[in-house]
Amino acid sequence: MPASKDLPRADGPTRSASSNGPTRTWVEAHSVPLAVSALGIVLGMAYSLFWAPVIRHTSVWITPSDFWATYRAAHYVGWGDLGGIYGAHANVVTFPGIVVALAPCAILTGHLGLFESYPIVVAHPSAWLVSGPLEMLIGSVALFGADALGARFGLSRRRRALVTLFVAVGLWNTDVLWGHPEDAIAVGLSCYALVAIADRRKVAAGWILGAAVAFQPLVLLLVPLAIASLGIRKSWSFIWRCAAPAAVLLVAPLVADYSDTVRALVEQPNYPNLDHRTPWTSLAPTLGGSGRLLIVAAGPVRLLSVVGACALAVILRRRLSDPRVLVWAASSVLLLRCATESVMVAYYLWPTTVFAGVLIVNRKPGRALVGLVVGSLLVVFADLRLAEWPWWLGTIGGLCTVVAVAAPPLKSVPLDDDHIEVIHSRSSGMAHSSREPQRGQLLVTRSGGAR
């Protein structure tokens, strides 16, 4: 039985469709994200290899500098030194999932003797010909995750295609320009986790969200929302599965290099004068450097977003059983993360727009147009070098607009088949319908809370 009348489960293909074979059926069902992923890789590599020579008349390749630092750390995993990744001067400040995923590629390019653009900048890093397409390919997980979330909401193929294109616009900033596939992977897996939560599959949701956390701890902000949606008493199995993948990967770094690991993950060193200062920068502890190379600890201020996520989960706890409210809350806590960052980077904005975009396409045409246009323009605006306040107000104001446009009704929550049991009082007779309870009936959610 579907979880909601208008929110069908993301079930597999029908028996008649499966006669064509599971692979063909899967390709047909995901033709749009597959096509957009392939196009993104082609355009991304074309931009990287030809933009500077053809447009700027400079004989260099444009490759994301952040990626090369992560790729350097992936070599340490390939050499059998997972415990040394945070002391390798590679500026890794996320969980080890991405360096483990890139390790086979790093082993291959190292064995072939291909050049990398770290620690010395190289005009034509030949390793990019292998690692570049791979980086863009694994980042396309976000496109499939957003498509799965749209399918869970029963969006038409046309609207799901629109969501995919909208997500791909921001993914360009994250993957191609900045080289952070770990953010894209974490967001894509989080979309799948929200689908599992909406279907009340807490075991699958725990493992999927745990895998997302292993790549980027940013998505830990979704955990309080998931717990509130599933119910605290039923969430213990979900919680330990969320923590397990990252915990396993962090054992070696904590044992082998405790001080560097804690410094990277807790203090989160960042460069406000190289990236973007915010009103919170003055509250961040200074770690060293000066001028453009000033280093601050971005981690402590990020606790504000954790507190905000927990508070929002408490406020919306009776409404988070509605998948639409859950997804909107996810975009809201990611907006809160951006609004409370002590150092901002352009690609930080994108995760908020992914979850909001799935909801925006189902709004009235005028409202949807505003959300999609503002969300797309944010990709361009975020890369501008403006003064602190104009940049911060423009980006946060744009994100607030996107989240506001995506907001579902919060006055009432639809009670659906998966969450309702009808209990008759002694004085009541037979109910004509479980969806139209008569006087004397009590509607009780499966988590045990009466409404």
- Beta-strand (E) ranges in 298-387? 343-344
Q: Above 60 in pLDDT, residue 133?
A: yes
pLDDT reported for residue 109: 96
- Whether 4 is covered by a domain: the verdict is no
pLDDT at site 431: 38
Question: With pLDDT > 70 as the criterion, what percentage of the chain qualifies?
Answer: 86
- Alpha carbons 278 and 119: distance in angstroms, whole number: 29
> Can you tell me the mean pLDDT for 316-334?
95
Helix (H) / strand (E) containing 288: strand 286-288
Whether the pLDDT of residue 14 is over 90: the answer is no
Residues 6 or more apart in contact with residue 158 via CB below 8 angstroms = none
Same domain, 274 and 127: yes
Q: What integer pLDDT is reported at residue 8 of this predicted model? A: 54
In the predicted structure, residue 432 carries a pLDDT above the cut 90: no
Distance (Å) of CA 354 to CA 9, 183, 196, 336, 368: 20, 12, 17, 15, 14
Tell whether 25 is covered by a domain.
Answer: no
Residue 285: DSSP 8-state = P
Least confident of 16-25, 134-143, 340-349, 415-424: 415-424
Q: Are the C-beta atoms of 393 and 381 separated by less than 8 Å?
A: no
Average pLDDT of the chain to the nearest whole number: 87
In a shared domain, residues 252 and 368: yes
Angle made by CA atoms 246, 247, 248, in degrees to the nearest 5: 90
Distance between CA atoms of 138 and 136, rounded to whole angstroms? 6
Same domain for 280 and 384, yes or no, is: yes
* Cα torsion angle, 86, 90, 92, 95, sign: negative
Does residue 299 share a domain with residue 439? no
Place 451 in a pLDDT band, splitting at 50, 70 and 90.
very low
Residue 438 in this model has a pLDDT that exceeds 90? no
Give CA–CA dist 212/142, Å, rounded.
Answer: 11
pLDDT tens figures, 222-261: 999 999 999 988 899 999 999 999 999 999 999 999 999 9
91: left (phi over 0), alpha (psi -120 to 50) or beta: left
In a domain, residue 1? The reply is no
Same domain, 342 and 366: yes
Answer yes or no: do 313 and 439 share one domain.
no
Query: Which pLDDT score, from 0 to 100, does residue 195 have?
Result: 97
Q: Which two tokens stand for residue 140?
A: 């396309």
* Per-residue pLDDT tens over the stretch 173-202: 999 999 999 999 999 999 999 999 999 999
Crossing angle of helices 31-51 and 157-171, rounded to 10°: 30
* Whether residue 349 has pLDDT greater than 80: yes
CA 369 vs. chain centroid, Å, equals: 23
pLDDT at 409: 86
For the chain, give the number of residues: 451
Residue 310 lies in a domain: yes
Classify residue 310 by burial, with Cβ atoms within 10 Å: 0-12, 13-18, 19+. Answer: middle
Q: Largest Cα–Cα distance in the chain? A: 85
Same domain, 57 and 198: yes
Of 24-28, 65-69, 139-143, least confident by mean pLDDT is 24-28
How many whole angstroms separate alpha carbon 344 and alpha carbon 259?
25
pLDDT given for residue 22 in this prediction: 78
Estimate to the nearest angstrom the gap between the alpha carbon of 33 and the chain centroid. 16
How many domains is the chain partitioned into structurally? 2
In this prediction the pTM is: 0.86
The string of pLDDT tens digits covering residues 384-398 is 999 999 999 999 999
**Pair 218, 99 in one domain:** yes
Tell me what pLDDT residue 89 has.
83
Q: What is the pLDDT confidence band of residue 424, given thresholds at 50, 70 and 90?
A: very low
- What is the arithmetic mean of pLDDT over 433-448? 36
Instruction: Indicate the pLDDT class of residue 436, thresholds 50, 70 and 90.
Output: very low
Tell me if 14 is assigned to some domain: no
pLDDT at 377 over 90: yes
Single-letter residue type at 297: A
pLDDT at 315 over 70: yes
In this structure, the answer to whether residues 357 and 425 fall within a common structural domain is no
In the structure, what pLDDT confidence band is assigned to residue 429 with cuts at 50, 70 and 90? very low
In a domain, 235, yes or no: yes
User: Comparing C-alpha atoms, which of 208, 197, 188, 186 is closest to residue 152?
Assistant: 197
Q: For residue 422, is pLDDT > 50?
A: no
Residues 213, 309 within the same domain: yes
Is 393 within a domain?
yes
pLDDT of residue 90: 85
Is 12 a member of any domain? Answer: no
Q: Tens digit of pLDDT for each residue in 353-362?
A: 999 999 999 9
The angle that helices 97-111 and 65-78 make with each other, rounded to 10 degrees, is 80
Residue 223 and residue 342 in one domain: yes
Domain of residue 447: give its range: 419-451
Domain shared by 267 and 353, yes or no: yes
